[in-house]
Amino acid sequence: MEDSMENSNEFKERRKYPRSAVDLPFEYRMKNLPDAHGGLVVNASEGGLLIHSVKDMPVGLELKMVILFPDEYELADFEVLAEIIWKDLHSYNNSEGYQYGLKIIRILEGDRWKLTQLLNSLGRARSSISSICSPTPLHLNDAT
């Protein structure tokens, strides 16, 4: 029993890229269909995305996506071609929808740079916030 507890504490991340929580709107088109649909990217990495959408789509479907993000005082975007790897029912904002795990299968070099810069800026923002919010240790011997 103790051995199994020890192993459960040794969880290893299997993802190649770390995930970052985001809240980014996107537009997507299914292959060979002209209609655009929307959704929300809720976390992202250089290798994949977690999205929410009200549209029911099958695993294996490829989506051409345009993801919007703020760039200082402007709205910028990058495009990816992604494949649905898994899906699950998901409720949000009092409505039913779906949560999808996507694997990025194609992204232009310039768009990859934008994605990497976005993820890096989110990482810097998180570390800045945590350093601001972290309490400074009080050393009782320093109170002179």
pLDDT at 128 exceeding the cut of 50:
no
103-123 average pLDDT score: 93
pLDDT band with cut points at 50, 70 and 90 for residue 130: very low
**The predicted structure's pLDDT at residue 134:** 47
- pLDDT tens by residue, 29-75: 987 788 999 999 999 999 999 999 999 999 999 999 999 999 888 89
Token pair belonging to 14: 């299997």
**The predicted structure's pLDDT at residue 15:** 62
Q: Which range has highest mean pLDDT (38-42, 70-74, 91-95, 135-139)?
A: 38-42
Break the chain into its structural domains and give their ranges.
17-130
Give the pTM.
0.74
119-135 average pLDDT score: 59
Are the C-beta atoms of 78 and 67 separated by less than 8 Å? yes
CA end-to-end distance (rounded Å), the chain: 52
The CATH T-level fold of domain 17-130 is Thrombin, subunit H (2.40.10)
Token pair belonging to 77: 């975007």
**The predicted structure's pLDDT at residue 10:** 54
Token pair belonging to 11: 């969880």
**Strand 48-53 to 62-71 pairing:** unpaired
Q: State percent of the chain over pLDDT 70.
A: 74
